[in-house]
Amino acid sequence: MESGKREFKSKDRMSVKLNHYLKITCSHVHQIYRELESSDKVITVDLVRKLYYGVDEDSKTLLQVFREHNEQRYGNSPTFG
């Protein structure tokens, strides 16, 4: 990779593919950043990363869903047996 730039200097097939991927990735990150700026949200690396990977901020694990269900149904301390 050429110092000071975001692309590989070589023109072999792999370098061309990597340069294309880097351009797409940078473009996507910049788009996310602009959208966050226009929505007046606090911009953090974690938020940009979640949006880049498509992780919903409100997503829950299956275990969290079961716990919430059990708490709603049985209260905070379910008894078994």
Question: Each residue's pLDDT tens digit in the chain (81 positions)?
Answer: 554 567 888 889 999 999 999 999 999 999 999 999 999 889 999 999 999 998 876 677 888 888 888 899 988 765 655
DSSP string, 12-72: SHHHHHHHHHHHHHHHHHHHHHHHHHHTTPPP-HHHHHHHHHT--TT---HHHHHHHHHHH
- pLDDT for position 30: 96
The answer to the question of residue 49 being in a domain is yes
The answer to the question of residue 7 being in a domain is no
Domain tally for the chain?
1
The answer to the question of residue 5 being in a domain is no
Its domain, for residue 70, covers 13-74
The answer to the question of residue 3 being in a domain is no
- pLDDT for position 78: 52
The answer to the question of residue 39 being in a domain is yes
- pLDDT for position 80: 59
- pLDDT for position 3: 47
